[in-house]
Structures are given as C-alpha cells and as structure tokens.
Amino acid sequence: MSFSNKHIVVTGGTGALGTAVVGMLLNDGAQCSVPYVHEQETQSFAHRDHANVRLIAVRDLANEADVARVYQDVSGSLWASIHIAGGFAMGKVADTNEAALSAQIDMNLTSCFLCCRAAVLAMGKAGGRIVNITARPALEPRIGAGMVAYTIAKAGVAALTAALAEEVAKDGILVNAVAPSIMDTVANRKAMPTADHDAWPKVEEVAATILFLASPDNKVTRGAIIPVYGKS
C-alpha cells in the first residue's frame, strides 16, 4: 500500500493503537495530522518529531469548533480520516448517571460523528476513506453488561458507519469501521494481569486492518464493521 503524499487525519493518534497506525502510515509516505487534548500525550509519542507529522492541540473533539480547526487546512487535500479517539468506562446502569452516560457518548460517538462530518466536507467530491473504531460489545451487546454506556456509544459508532457509508458512496468516499476486542497494550495488561494476553489482538495487527480500509487499495469495501478479535 502506498500513501505517498496523501494527507490523513488520525484522531487518538498518540495512543497505543494510534501510534501504530501513524507509524505505518509514515512508513508508507503519508502526511499525518494528529490532534491531541493533553500535552503529556505528546511527550512519549514516538513520531512527534517526524517531518510529516503535524500535532494539533484541541480542547475537545466533541466540540464542533475544535474539530473544524483540525480539518481547516486539509480541505481539498484530505485522503483519509481515521477516528481512534474515544474513552472507556465500566459501570452498571444503576451506577451510571446522566453525566456519565453523556461523557461516554461525547467521547465515543459525538467526537466520531463530528470528525466524520468534517472529513466528508473536506473530501468533497474528490473521494477518500473514513475508518471508525467501534468495539466488540457494539456487535455483541450481551457482553456489554457492566459497561452499558460504553456499549451504547460504540453501537452508535457502528450505526453511524453503516448509514454514512451509504450516504457518501456516490462521492467516492468509502466508510468502514473495525471492532476490536481487548487489545494487547501495556495498560490492558496492567489492568488484567491474569488474562490470556496471547489471545488478544496486537495493536499492529489491528492497525494493519485499518490501513487497508484507509488505503487506495480498498476500492470496493464500504459499510463494513470488521471484527478484529484475534484468538479472544
């Protein structure tokens, strides 16, 4: 796959999965815009000094004005937009108040919607690729017990992906999503030290699926929600 001179926005690009995605894109010649909320996110970001990386400070990706700033300089030149940014919280319904529900929806669904909208406007009729990140509970809601707000928000991302894919296909914009299970990251290993870590998909493996969907090599796949579960 070649992303030579193609401009790509990667939200959540400083996280574990995002770092893997940005690294692979840079290796294939892409120019990456990476928004971030907290300055410390950039301190350990492996690609912060790369010539083809533009780090953009934002306050909140669930804020329309902040999202517009990320995309303001790529109108007419944006090839792909990859939406990894989000947040996770456990919580039974009885323990989840309106604020906690709204927080999950804003972090996961509202941010994704606004970035999708901005990407569609930036791509126009030139075409491009959008890749969203949902989660296994969105496809298997029964396993979302104990994290209902998160499951609802990620299910919304899956529905957004399928509906938007149909809406913009005529413009040559292919919209897809991946649905990871628990990924093999340092944070997840620390949180679940006794789990079977070998069964978890590696971030590089999930990133490879994202890159194909975002690439010019993907000429026909749209509206797909692709499970990336590994052996788990």
Amino acid at 229: Y
Domain coordinates in residue numbering, the chain: 7-228
The residue assigned the tokens 């499970």 is: 227
Per-residue model confidence as pLDDT tens digits over 135-189? 999 999 999 999 999 999 999 999 999 999 999 999 999 999 999 999 889 999 9
Residue among 154, 152, 113 nearest 133 (CA): 154
Per-residue model confidence as pLDDT tens digits over 37-75? 999 989 999 999 999 999 999 999 999 999 999 999 888
Q: Give me the pLDDT at residue 232, please.
A: 84
Q: Does residue 1 carry a pLDDT above 80? A: no
213-228 per-residue burial string, b: 16 or more CB within 10 A, e: under 16? bbbeebeeebebbbbb
Report residue 217 as tokens: 């090599």
Per-residue model confidence as pLDDT tens digits over 217-226? 999 999 999 9
In the chain, the percentage of residues whose pLDDT exceeds 90 is: 93
Q: Give the integer Cα–Cα distance in Å for 186 and 169.
A: 38
Q: Give me the pLDDT at residue 75, please.
A: 80
CA angle 112, 115, 116 (to 5 degrees): 80
CATH fold label, 7-228: Rossmann fold (3.40.50)
Per-residue model confidence as pLDDT tens digits over 86-115? 999 999 999 999 999 999 999 999 999 999
List, in sequence order, every residue forming a beta bridge with 228; answer none if it has no partner. 180
